[in-house]
């Protein structure tokens, strides 16, 4: 992956600062001074007091169990009931602190900013093969309470503090080796150029490994990204063949082949994720295609005016709900009925299939093909098709709206949802007020224009002619402003529950967007912000106006 790699190692979380003595913790109504280890963990809970998490049974149970591990034997014997713990003063203290931070003077804020900048300059970059590259996450995650997503069995557990002794450093032999902080040493120093990470440690909640890697703007990430889209483009060339193939396989004598073919149909048509198996009880109960259970699908031979409708209802990645009703081909429907026979709701829909079998099959159909390539392919091809339908004479804001709509179509396909922003209603209202005002302005300006025209008709002099021109310009300007506002409102409304970022960043071949910008003379800044332009620098460089995905 590289020949030379030099960096300064990670930045560790700030050490724990004890509570001032005046800030008390109470047990059963009586003040109690905790030793630092238990106190630190208590502050994690105090900081989250306002969050719904802390009311959940599992969260409280997990927290209390892990908290007790940090207590002295004396503390342990005293503190036996979380309900008798009062973190109120601690919580108030942190709120006051954050308030104070907000109230800091300009100078102090500036000083903080400079300090951050210094840290970034010193630790935020590395040298990889003659290039200075930005590191993605050079700060080690601070200790705290684990918050899973959805119904996570481990929520509330203590995420322990990471020390230099936990860190494996990866760099090249001939580089200046990063120094561990004074009085400490690294767990290991290794020189493995078959991997891209600079440092790693094992996290204590799931026992998984975490990495420090380069920023998306780096050469190594960019090339990988490019490769990903090239694989998707190769799929484009053979997707017809594959579709014919899996339709044929719906008729197979073998159950495993039929299941494989129906699953692939879903992955292709609905852009479902592969769906690896997960260890039960270790994570939230979520599924993807191969791990769908009987309880997640319902079959309707007839629904309204449609035939063979399948209703999906399950929690996918990040416990985001996937809900969809779609008509399928008769043969798929019959197969599904067959798969469901004699099964319980909690049984696997595809009992003869998993991601490894599926991916092995895909690999045989096309080099480098895996389930997720279908998501990339379908996302990108959808964007390209949608953009082709754009009319050419639209104004710039209208063009951008069309782009966002195309982006939105992809986000819907990939089920990229978000919670409506807390400020949504309010900000919609504000926008509407602005639109109303602009409309009033417009009628006033039009009235003035009419007046000026009448004047000109009567006098026919140069001065009145000029006035007409000025008024006409004013009307035009206000019309444009109004249109812009209306477009903005439409865009925002349609975007209420849809997250565009994920597809833009991970699924849409950026060359399609770059080409579209060139073709319709839209400045690239209208589509990509600074970070995105950095990440997609390779594509901005590469794609001409006639690029075809």
Q: Which residues are catalytic?
A: 507
Could you say which of 337, 531, 544, 548 contacts DNA (CB under 7 A)?
Answer: 531
C-beta of 138: minimal distance to DNA in Å? 8
What track of x and - describes contact with DNA for positions 357 through 386 (by CB under 7 A)?
x-x---x------xxxx-xx----------
Could you say which of 279, 346, 364, 393 contacts DNA (CB under 7 A)?
Answer: 279
C-beta of 528: minimal distance to DNA in Å? 9
Site for DNA in 112-171 (CB under 7 A): 112-113, 137, 139, 141-142, 144, 146-150, 152, 159
Q: How far apart are CA 174 and CA 185, in angstroms?
A: 20
Site for DNA in 470-489 (CB under 7 A): none
User: b or e along 468-489 (b: 16 or more beta carbons within 10 Å of the residue's beta carbon)?
Assistant: beebeebbeebeeebebbbbbe
Could you say which of 3, 118, 185, 224 contacts DNA (CB under 7 A)?
Answer: 224
C-beta of 501: minimal distance to DNA in Å? 7
Element spanning 43, H or E: helix 36-47
Task: Please report, for residues 164, 171, 201, the alpha-carbon distance to residue 193 in angstroms, rounded to integers and kept in the order given.
Answer: 22, 8, 18
C-beta of 469: minimal distance to DNA in Å? 28
Cβ atoms of 158 and 59 within 8 Å: the answer is no
Q: How far apart are CA 242 and CA 377, in angstroms?
A: 13
Which pairing describes strands 168-170 and 188-190: parallel, antiparallel, or unpaired? Answer: parallel
Q: How far apart are CA 280 and CA 153, in angstroms?
A: 10
Question: Which stretch in 417-425, 441-449, 477-485, 514-522 sits in contact with DNA by CB under 7 A?
Answer: 417-425
Could you say which of 156, 164, 178, 288 contacts DNA (CB under 7 A)?
Answer: 288
Q: Residue 262 CA to chain centroid, in angstroms?
A: 29
Sheet holding 199-202, edge to edge: 188-190, 168-170, 199-202, 209-212
Q: Is 523 a residue that touches DNA (CB under 7 A)?
A: no
C-beta of 351: minimal distance to DNA in Å? 11
Task: Please report, for residues 16, 24, 32, 34, 166, the alpha-carbon distance to residue 72 in angstroms, rounded to integers and kept in the order given.
Answer: 18, 18, 13, 9, 24
Question: Which stretch in 83-91, 240-248, 421-429, 439-447 sits in contact with DNA by CB under 7 A?
Answer: 421-429
Q: How far apart are CA 214 and CA 307, in angstroms?
A: 50
Could you say which of 294, 442, 482, 499 contacts DNA (CB under 7 A)?
Answer: 499
Q: Is 530 a residue that touches DNA (CB under 7 A)?
A: yes
Phi-psi region of 233 (alpha: psi -120 to 50; beta: other; left: phi over 0): alpha
Place of tokens 């936990």: 166
Residue among 255 and 299 whose Cβ is closer to DNA: 255
- Coil, strand or helix: which one is 306? strand
Site for DNA in 190-209 (CB under 7 A): 192, 195-197, 200, 202-203, 205-209
Residue among 126 and 452 whose Cβ is closer to DNA: 126
What track of x and - describes contact with DNA for positions 312 through 351 (by CB under 7 A)?
----xxxxx-------------------------------
Residue among 37 and 144 whose Cβ is closer to DNA: 144
Query: How many residues sit in the footprint of DNA (CB under 7 A)?
Result: 84
């Amino acid at each position: 992956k590289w020949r030379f790699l030099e960096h300064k190692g990670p930045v560790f979380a700030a050490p724990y600062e004890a509570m001032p003595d005046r800030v008390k913790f109470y047990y059963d109504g009586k003040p109690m001074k905790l030793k630092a280890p238990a106190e630190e963990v208590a502050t994690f809970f105090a900081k989250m007091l306002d969050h719904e998490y802390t009311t959940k049974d599992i969260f409280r149970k997990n927290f209390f169990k892990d908290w007790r591990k940090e207590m002295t034997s004396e503390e342990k014997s005293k503190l036996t009931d979380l309900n008798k713990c009062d973190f109120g003063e601690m919580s108030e203290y942190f709120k006051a602190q954050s308030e104070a931070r907000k109230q800091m003077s300009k100078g102090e804020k500036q000083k903080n900013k400079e300090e951050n900048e210094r840290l970034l300059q010193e630790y935020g970059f590395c040298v990889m093969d003659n290039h200075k590259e930005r590191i993605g996450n050079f700060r080690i995650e601070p200790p705290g309470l684990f918050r899973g997503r959805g119904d996570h069995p481990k929520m509330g557990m203590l995420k322990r503090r990471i020390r230099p002794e936990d860190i494996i450093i990866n760099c090249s032999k001939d580089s200046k080796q990063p120094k561990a902080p004074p009085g400490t040493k690294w767990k290991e120093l290794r020189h493995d150029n078959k991997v891209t990470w600079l440092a790693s440690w094992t996290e204590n909640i799931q026992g998984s490994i975490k990495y420090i890697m380069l920023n998306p703007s780096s050469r190594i990430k960019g090339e990988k990204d490019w490769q990903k889209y090239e694989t998707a483009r190769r799929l484009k060339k053979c997707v017809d063949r594959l579709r014919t193939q899996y339709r044929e396989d719906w008729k197979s004598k073998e159950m495993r082949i039929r299941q494989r073919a129906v699953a692939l149909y879903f992955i292709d048509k609905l852009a479902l994720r592969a769906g690896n198996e997960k260890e039960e009880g270790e994570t939230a109960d979520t599924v993807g295609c191969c791990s769908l259970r009987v309880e997640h699908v319902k079959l309707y031979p007839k629904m309204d005016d449609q035939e063979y409708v399948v209703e999906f209802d399950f929690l996918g990645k990040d416990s985001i709900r996937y809900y969809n009703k779609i008509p399928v081909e008769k043969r798929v429907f019959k197969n599904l009925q067959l798969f469901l026979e004699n099964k319980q709701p909690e049984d696997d829909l595809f009992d003869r299939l998993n991601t490894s079998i599926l991916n092995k099959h895909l690999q045989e159909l096309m080099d480098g093909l895996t389930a997720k390539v279908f998501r990339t392919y379908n996302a990108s091809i959808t964007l390209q098709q949608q953009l082709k339908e754009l009319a050419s004479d639209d104004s710039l804001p209208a063009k951008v709206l069309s782009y966002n709509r195309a982006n939105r179509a992809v986000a819907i396909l990939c089920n990229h949802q978000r919670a409506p922003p807390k400020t949504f209603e309010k900000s919609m209202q504000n926008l509407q007020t602005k639109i109303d005002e602009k409309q009033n302005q417009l009628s006033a300006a039009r009235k003035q224009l009419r007046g000026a025209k009448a004047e000109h008709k009567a006098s026919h002099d140069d001065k009145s002619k000029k006035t007409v021109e000025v008024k006409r310009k004013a009307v035009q300007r206000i019309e444009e402003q109004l249109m812009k506002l209306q477009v903005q409102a439409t865009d925002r409304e349609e975007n209420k529950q849809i997250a565009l970022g994920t597809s833009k960043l991970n699924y849409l071949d950026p060359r399609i967007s770059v080409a579209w910008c060139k073709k319709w003379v839209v400045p690239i800044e209208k589509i990509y912000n600074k970070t995105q332009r950095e990440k997609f620098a390779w594509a901005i460089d590469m794609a001409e106006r006639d690029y075809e995905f």
